Amino acid sequence: MSMMAILMPGGTTGSNTPVIFAVQIAAFIAIFYFLLIRPQRQMQKKHRAMLEAVKKGDEVMTEGGIIGEVIFLKDDRMTIRTAENTRIVVARAKIARVLVTDGVSITETK
């Protein structure tokens, strides 16, 4: 008896191979979606909600690590005061988190 006859019991001809292949592809896509795509979308949704909730007077930290107080808001930009007379205009999307006055993060994207 050959080794192939032992590995393939019952004389399987391979007629259900396309079905098995389709099930494997569907399982791969489902795993990919639930492990990568869905969590990324949820994180983007939280970040968008945080950016919409930012208001004048909030203390924020940019992705570059600059911390300052929001003094002016526009649709896609905001001006933050980082020191007594220093004002920086940053893109709203580059705000990483909103801070409480004692430095503890209340909203974080990562």
Strand order, beta sheet including 59-62: 87-91, 77-81, 67-73, 59-62, 95-99, 105-108
19: tokens are 């079905």
Alpha helices in 1-110 (DSSP H): 3-7, 17-32, 38-53
44: tokens are 């983007």
Question: Domain coordinates of the chain in residue numbers?
Answer: 15-110
The per-residue pLDDT string of the chain (110 residues; one tens digit each, 9 = 90 and over) reads 444 455 555 555 557 899 999 999 999 999 999 999 999 999 999 999 999 999 999 999 999 999 999 999 998 999 999 998 999 999 999 999 999 755 455 555 44
Identify the sign of the CA torsion 31, 34, 39, 42: positive
Look at domain 15-110 and name its CATH class: mainly beta
